[in-house]
Amino acid sequence: MTPLILASSSPYRRELLARLQIPFIWEAPDIDETPAKGEHPEETCLRLSLEKARAIGRLHHQGLIIGSDQVAEREGQAISKPVNHEAAVEQLTWASGRALKFHTGLCVLDAATGRHESLRVTVTAHYRVLSAAQIERYLRNDQPYDCAGSGRIETLGITLVEKVISEDPTALIGLPLIALTTLLAHFGIVLP
């Protein structure tokens, strides 16, 4: 089987890719993840997923490189990872009673040929109306400071939302496995 390399430092993406039960390694790409001036979040996630794959692809002469990036959006503006408690409170306070979009870009790159295919999966998460006490309890328990939009849907963050609309539920966690399975088939890896 063609070697698979996940271009990511994210433990969440590693856990998701492991669900496919195929061997892979991972390496953290060193790229600037700053959105380009005037770039919409939908474009940013696609560009960064390709840049991540290419950064790792430059280190390998063979294999399929998987790059993925997620950008949260509120009213057309990108939302970064909160990094600290105060920023997470601000993000969740704004999201209370509203919907956020999460754009996940996905790229598969053949290191030997440079051929790549990319796509984007968008998830809309409709948040419940959240009190300040609920936000504090959630953040103290889950500490999602490394997650765009300040929530981990795969853990206690599921309690923050009233509905999630998506073609691919794993996209919200950061690696759309349904879409990835389709792209891998285009490169000759048919699962299961």
Boundaries of every domain in the chain: 4-186
Q: What is the pLDDT of residues 77-114, one digit of tens each?
A: 899 889 999 999 999 999 999 999 999 999 999 999 99
Report the distance separating Cα 111 and Cα 2, nearest Å: 11
SS3 43: helix
Residues 102, 125 contacting (CB under 8 angstroms): yes
Residue 67 tokens read as 């790059």
What is the third-level CATH fold of 4-186?
A: Maf protein (3.90.950)
Please confirm, yes or no, whether 168 is among the known catalytic residues.
no
Instruction: Write down the pLDDT at residue 2.
Output: 80
**Rg value, the chain, Cα:** 17
Q: Can you list the residues of the chain whose pLDDT is less than 70?
A: 1
Q: What is the pLDDT of residue 25?
A: 97
Is the pTM value of this prediction over 0.75? yes
User: Out of 30, 69, 110, 168, which one is annotated catalytic?
Assistant: 69
Q: Bridge-partner residues for 103, per DSSP?
A: 71, 122
| Other CB atoms within 10 A of residue 185 CB | 11
Residue 80's pLDDT is 86
Q: Tokens at residue 93, please?
A: 């306070």
CA distances, 174 to each of 38, 59, 132, 144, 177 (Å): 24, 23, 27, 14, 9
pLDDT at 128: 97
